[in-house]
Amino acid sequence: MRKLLLDTHTLLWWLADHPRIGVKAKSLIAEPRNAIYVCAVSHWEISINKSLGKLSAAENLDQVVGEWGFTKLPISYFHGDQAGALPKHHKDPFDRMLIAQAQSEGLSIITNDEIFSCYSVQIVKAPR
């Protein structure tokens, strides 16, 4: 069993069955023995981008994530401290939170973001 955290774009690709998500990533997410996590920060990032007109996504994202059987990962004070203490390789606060959560919770991140490799975190490449 693997514990996998979806980067925001990976979640959106999965939900839209987008061709950018690779075969390996799809099979890992679809594997019922794997635990798939979606962070509250991803919901927040999606909500912001929807309100700015930069993105369209399901109105009921919370319900959709639950229907897929994904585990909703809240943000704790510890996660906030960890994200703030990370080296400044990545400037995006949403991604910094995902990295901090992956490190502190022992999760691998499925992502297309090359900057994640600058941190001590296990990465699964999202695209093929």
Q: What is the pLDDT of residues 40-86, one digit of tens each?
A: 999 999 999 999 999 888 888 899 999 999 999 999 999 999 999 99
Instruction: Please determine, for residue 128, whether its predicted confidence score (pLDDT) is greater than 70.
Output: no
pTM above 0.75, yes or no: yes
Query: Could you give the 3-state DSSP secondary structure of residue 31?
Result: coil
For the stretch 26-34, contacts whose Cβ atoms lie closer than 8 Å and that sit 24 or more positions apart, written own/partner, are 28/2, 28/4, 28/110, 28/124, 29/4, 29/110, 31/2, 33/1, 34/1, 34/2, 34/3, 34/4
Give me the architecture of the 3-125 domain, per CATH. 3-Layer(aba) Sandwich (3.40)
HSE at residue 122, side-chain half, CA atoms within 13 A, is: 9
